Homo-oligomer: A and B are copies of this chain.
Amino acid sequence: MSIHYPSGQGPHLHRTKLVNHLPAPRQSSYSKRGMSLEKEINESNQYYRATHQAVIHKKPTPIQLVKVDYPKRSAAVIKEAYFRRPSTTDYNGVYKGYYIDFDAKETRNKRSFPLKNFHQHQIDHLMACVKQGGICFAFIKFTTLDLLYLLPATKLFAYWQDQQNGGKSSITLTTIKKDGIPVKYGLNPRLQYLPAVDRLIAIYKKGEKNE
C-alpha cells in the first residue's frame, strides 16, 4: 500500500494529524452512500462472522517499529514507526471450506478503471494463491456510479499481462460488466458479497471438472 495524503494536502506540507480511527490515513473516495468501500467490506465481514457464514478479516497494516517506550505501570507506547508496504492483499479468510483472498479498489472515474491502482506485489500474491486453489478476486467500485463488481483474479491477470506488454493501462467499465460479477447492496449487511463469491466458486468448480 502506498501512503496517501489527506486530500488537498500534498507531501510538501508539514503537518501533524491526530488519528482517531484505524487503519492508516488514506485517500477516501466516498460513494453516494457516504461510506468507503473498505468500511463497507469490514461491516459485511463483521456481519458474516457474527452469523457464522464466513470468517474473513482485513489484515492490519504492517508497521516498521523504530522506537518503543515502556512507561511505568502502563502499556507500551510506540514513539517512532513507519508504514510498510504489505506483501499480500488486504483481505483473506475461509468460506465453505474455500480459501478466500481479495483486495478492494475504488475509482471516481465513470468509464474505466486504471490498473495503476494495483501493485505488482498484489498481483504476484493473488497468482500464488490461485495456484494453491484459492478463490481470489478484486472488488472494483465505481464510486460516482455506485456500481460494484467482483472481478475474478484470472481476468485481472489477463489485463495486467496485457498492460505489461504495452496494452491498455485501464479496464473499461464495459469489460468489467462483461467479465465481473455484480455485487448487490441490501440492508444487513449493506454490501452483500457472498452470493457473488458463490458464483465465482461455481465457475471455479466447473473449470476443475473440465481439466
Contact = CB atoms under 8 A, between A and B. Distances in A.
A69 B131 contact: no
A158 interface: no
Given A57-B87, A132-B54, A19 B66 contact: yes
A66 B133 contact: no
User: How many copies of the shown chain assemble into the complex?
Assistant: 2
Chain A interface residue count: which class? 35 or more
Nearest to A17: B68
Interface string A51-79: 01011010111111111111111111111
Interface of A: 3, 5, 9, 11-19, 22-25, 49, 52, 54-55, 57, 59-83, 86-88, 92-101, 125, 128-129, 131-134
B61 A17 contact: no
A157 B78 CA distance: 35
Contacts of A129: 55, 94
B14 A72 contact: yes
